[in-house]
């Protein structure tokens, strides 16, 4: 390198460092004034809620589930040849809101297992049809399913306490609706979501436009329709959204994984109030994390983040995520915007918040960074030296379970950074079985 090149490089780096000093201060100001969440009560204290469940896949095989305790011991396995007959063919798997139960679906049955050791607790007969999507009520009383059968899309609701199915409701949808990103049969899709009161629930169908919103209520074990409206001004170019009812049940926030747009829907009028447009580098790149109170939505990309203040309906960022408990250098902050991350996009299988809602755990190539909510101030770095992919937090918040970026190992570590255990997995991890996902 001749002196002219060296001088040019020096001047560029100097200019970048100077400009980054300003950028770092700007980031701090961007995060001021965010609403401070009240600590959430920690309710998932059962032994089963402290066990991590993952789904694995071996080449040429069917997916199966494994469970590990905080010490890294294998405590259960479901699926393939070692599973009970009811789980030999797993078509879907979910975790209850309290973290104590794992549910798997077969062709004609639904089975609940104890998360603590995987023993079968109860089996339910499953209504016929193709499962589109599902949602638990926050109180764990109901499990709702969107099912397609006999040429019709319907909402099925299972009362998990009594084991009975509530009379189903037909879901209006357009069989000729635009369905970008979807192939095969049936030409139908939808997602259900419950309100925090566990009584009201909503479905979004026909995502490619015009999207359709339907509202229901559960009273005395009966499902009653409250109305359906077309959402003519919005569409999502892929069959994946993250839904959360916020604002004390008054607003539905719908994040489109394809373009990153966030629809804020007034649930009194069943109409779109506004659409927020954060930046997203590529489809399925940003991972959505709603705070427990639903007032903030963090969108995480490799090395960067944005914060959506859903109270004020504003977008803050993007800005560089710090990687250590000390301030990152200004140059590092800027370069994180200039270098295209190599990670592929996808849908996160977890929402890595502490149970009290005050900490966010971010996986990175050298461990897990602990960030304070709401201002994302770095608090600690745990599992240092591990190249990490996803984080699941135990129900009481005492243990972090972290998958390696190649999916072949699991690390368990106490929240204070002590007691690290590394486990080689028998297959490649596809993700955690969590009660909430991105």
Provide the pLDDT for residue 437. Answer: 87
Between CA 252 and CA 241 the distance in angstroms is 12
pTM: 0.86
CA atoms within 13 A on the CB side of 432: 28
Between CA 77 and CA 153 the distance in angstroms is 33
CB 437 within 8 A of CB 390: no
For the chain, what is the HEC assignment? CCHHHHHHHHHHHHHHHHHHHHHHHHHHHHCCCCCCCCCCCCCCCCCHHHCEEEEEECCCCCCEEEEECCCCCEEEEECHHHCCHHHCCCCEEEECCCCCEEEEECCCEEEEEECCCCCEEEEEECCCCEEEEEEECCCCCEEEEEEEECCEEEEEEEECCCCEEEEEEECCCCCCCCCCCCCCCCCCCEEEEECCCCCEEEEEECCCCCEEEEEEEEECCEEEEEEEEEECCCCCCCCCEEEEEEHHHCEEEEEECCCCCEEEEECCCCEEEEEECCCCCCCCCCEEEECCCCCEEEEEECCEEEEEECCCCEEEEEEECCCCCCCCCHHHHHHHHHCCCCCCCCCCCCCCECCCCCEEEEEECCEEEEEECCCCCEEEEECCCCCEEEEEECCCCCEEEEEECCCCEEEEEECCCCCCEEEECCCEEEEECCCCCC
Q: Which two tokens mark 51?
A: 């066990």
Between CA 408 and CA 398 the distance in angstroms is 23
pLDDT tens for the chain, 438 residues: list them.
333 323 233 333 333 333 343 344 455 567 888 999 899 999 999 999 999 999 998 776 778 999 999 999 999 999 754 444 444 456 789 999 999 999 998 878 899 999 999 999 999 988 888 888 899 999 999 999 998 887 788 999 999 999 999 989 999 877 666 666 565 555 567 899 999 999 999 999 887 778 899 999 998 888 999 999 999 888 888 778 999 999 999 999 999 999 999 999 999 999 999 999 999 989 999 999 999 999 999 999 988 999 999 999 999 999 998 765 544 433 333 333 333 333 445 789 999 999 999 999 999 898 999 999 999 999 999 999 888 999 999 999 999 999 999 999 999 999 999 999 999 999 999 999 999 988
Nearest one of 390, 383, 308, 313 to 346, comparing CA atoms: 390
CB 319 within 8 A of CB 9: no
Q: Which two tokens mark 11?
A: 């001047």
Q: Which two tokens mark 147?
A: 């099912």
Sheet holding 287-290, edge to edge: 287-290, 296-301, 304-309, 314-320
């Amino acid at each position: 390198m001749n002196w002219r090149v060296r001088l040019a490089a020096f001047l560029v780096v100097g200019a970048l460092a100077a400009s980054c000093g300003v950028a770092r201060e700007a980031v701090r100001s961007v995060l001021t004034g965010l609403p401070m969440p009240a600590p959430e009560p920690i309710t998932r204290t059962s032994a089963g809620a402290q066990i991590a469940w993952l789904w694995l896949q071996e080449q040429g095989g069917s997916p199966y589930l494994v469970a590990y305790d905080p010490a890294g011991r294998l405590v259960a396995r479901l699926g393939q040849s070692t599973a009970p007959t009811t789980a030999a063919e797993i078509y879907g798997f979910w975790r209850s809101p309290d973290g104590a139960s794992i549910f798997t679906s077969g062709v004609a049955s639904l089975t609940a297992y104890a998360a603590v050791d995987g023993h079968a607790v109860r089996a339910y007969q499953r209504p016929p049809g193709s499962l589109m999507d599902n949602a638990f009520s926050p109180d764990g009383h109901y499990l709702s399913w969107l099912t397609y059968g006999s040429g019709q899309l319907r909402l099925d609701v299972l009362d998990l306490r009594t084991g009975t199915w509530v009379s189903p409701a037909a879901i209006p949808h357009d069989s000729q609706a635009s369905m970008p990103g979807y192939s095969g049969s049936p030409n139908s899709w939808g997602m259900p979501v419950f309100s925090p009161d566990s009584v009201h629930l909503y479905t979004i169908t026909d995502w490619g436009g015009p999207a359709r919103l339907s509202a229901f209520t559960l009273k005395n074990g009966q499902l009653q329709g409250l109305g359906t409206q077309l959402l003519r001004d919005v569409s999502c170019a892929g069959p994946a959204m993250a839904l959360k009812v916020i604002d004390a049940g008054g607003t539905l926030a719908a994040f489109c994984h394809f373009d990153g747009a966030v629809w804020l829907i007034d649930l009194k009028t069943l109409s779109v109030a506004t659409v927020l447009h954060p930046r997203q580098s590529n489809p399925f790149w940003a991972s959505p994390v709603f705070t427990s109170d639903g007032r903030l939505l963090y969108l995480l990309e490799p090395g960067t983040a944005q914060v959506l203040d859903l109270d004020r309906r504003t977008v803050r960022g993007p800005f560089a995520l710090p990687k250590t408990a000390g301030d990152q250098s200004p140059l590092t902050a800027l370069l994180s915007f200039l270098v295209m991350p190599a990670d592929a996009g996808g849908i996160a299988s977890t929402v890595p918040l502490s149970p009290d809602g005050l900490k966010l755990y971010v996986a990175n190539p050298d461990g897990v960074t602990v960030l304070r909510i709401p201002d994302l101030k770095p608090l600690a770095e745990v599992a240092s030296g591990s190249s990490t992919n996803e984080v699941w937090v135990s129900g009481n918040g005492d243990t972090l379970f972290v998958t390696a970026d190649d999916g072949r190992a699991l690390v368990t570590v106490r929240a204070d950074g002590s007691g690290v255990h590394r486990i080689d997995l028998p297959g490649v991890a596809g993700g955690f079985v969590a009660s909430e996902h991105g």
